[in-house]
Structure 1
Amino acid sequence: MKVALFGATGFVGSYIVDELISQGMEANLMVRGGSENKLLQKEKCRIIKGDIDDKIAINETLDGCGAVIYAIGIIREFPNRGITYENLHFNGAKRCIDAAKEKGINRFILMSANGAKMNGTGYQSTKYNS
């Protein structure tokens, strides 16, 4: 099976990449330009450069996939750079979920390293809302 992974260059995502490869799966990884150098096994994956606001890159990442893993998460916000819990945890996940539905992909894993609660921290509530 081919799996789309968002958040592949992060701490959790890098372990997911290794596990997908060890299980003999193909992996499409959407990464920000320049961050692909963090990947230890990038030659075994299809790398799509883009960011979570880029619908074209999201759709390209999903091409041919039977499952999606959304492992994007931030522990700190930088609003002046557009790096917010709302944008990455909620809006980004929603873009990927909507695009996956359009492509008929019905397996979607949403990861959270710090929980998901309705009335939790900013991190937790945006993961919950996703």
Structure 2
Amino acid sequence: MNVILFGATGMVGQDVLRECLRSDAVARVLVVGRTPVGVRHPKLREIVRPDVSDLDGLGDELDGYHACFFCLGVSSVGMNEDAYRAVTHDLTLAVARAVSARNPGLVLTYVSGAGTDSSGQGRTMWARVKGRTENDLLALDVDGYMFRPGYIQPGPGTVSKTRLYRVVYRIVSPVAPLLRRLFPNQVTSGDRIGRAMLAVAVPGAGGRVPANRILGTREINALGGPPGPEGRDDRG
């Protein structure tokens, strides 16, 4: 299959890209983003655009894709709701509509997070904005899966763009294997998220996917299998 990936330079997106390039089920990966990913691979093609929601002019470059993995996101820290909604809800829907219009039967995965508010009316700003985003994506004519991971352990060489997250991961990483054993349904990893996305997108894999289109950490881990060996870095 052919995959379009948004957010490949982010913490989750880096690991998802690695799994796509590693998978024999993936023939081609198109990365669309604001900055280059810094990876070279025969399967990989990049389109760099200052505004990734503006896909006008790309023509048939967006045609012929089976799945769109949307991993682009920002921290809500220090942002008001209007600004956060613009880069979380509005941008995501603009991309989903543009890509799905050119690719009938598209499988779309979206990374939100544990605690996302499906009512879209709760008190927590980020949770209600992501809840509305999920709801609007599920209303589109796409085969959509909403990923709600809890704690995500990044893969080797994967670095978050958010300084606070980098500090947290530096502190938590040494005890991550223990956390996985103690809280198996709250802790996942970037490589498992990538493999879970491939599992819902690969033709013929639908029987493995829960009927619920909202996948929490338990479902992500079941689909993604065990995490890779500690310290492995075979991004290709």
TM-score by length of 1: 0.78
Matches within 5 A, 1:39-118: 39-41=38-40, 44-50=43-49, 51-56=51-56, 62-76=62-76, 84-103=83-102, 104-113=104-113, 115-117=115-117, 118=120
Give the direction of change, closer, same or farther, for the CA distance of 1:105–1:28 in structure 2 (3 Å limit).
farther
Structure exhibiting the larger radius of gyration computed from Cα positions: 2
Which residue pairs with 1:27 in the alignment?
29
Task: Identify the range of structure 1 (117-126 vs 91-100) with the bigger mean alpha-carbon deviation.
Answer: 117-126
The 1-side partners of 2:29 and 2:17 are apart by 7
Match of 1:129 among 127, 132, 136: 132
Mapped to 1, the partners of 2:57 and 2:41 lie a distance apart of: 17
Residue ranges of structure 1 left out of the alignment (5+ in a row): none
SS in 1 for 2:91: helix
Runs (4+) of structure 1 moved beyond 6 Å? 57-61
- In the alignment, the residues of structure 1 paired with residue 86 and residue 109 of structure 2 have an alpha-carbon distance, to the nearest angstrom, of 18
What is the letter of the counterpart of residue 33 of structure 2? Answer: V
Give the C-alpha shift of residue 105 in structure 1.
4.1
Are the equivalent residues in 2 in contact too, given 1:48–1:60 (CA < 8 A)? no
TM-score with structure 2 setting the length: 0.46
Of residues 105-114 and 51-60 in structure 1, the stretch that sits farther from structure 2 once superposed is: 51-60
Identical amino acids, percent of aligned pairs: 23
Does the 8 Å contact 2:21/2:41 carry over to 1? no
How far off is 1:44 after superposition?
4.2
Structure 2 gap ranges (5+):
134-236
**Cα distance change of structure 1 residues 128 and 56 upon mapping to structure 2, 3 Å threshold:** same
Structure 2 counterpart of 1:29, one-letter code: V
Matched residue type, 1:122 = M
Between the two proteins, the alignment pairs up a number of residues equal to 124
Other-structure match for 2:14: 14
Shift of 1:106: 2.5
Measured in 2, the distance between the counterparts of 1:78 and 1:59 equals 37
Supply the distance in 1 between the matched residues of 2:6 and 2:18 (Cα, whole angstroms).
14
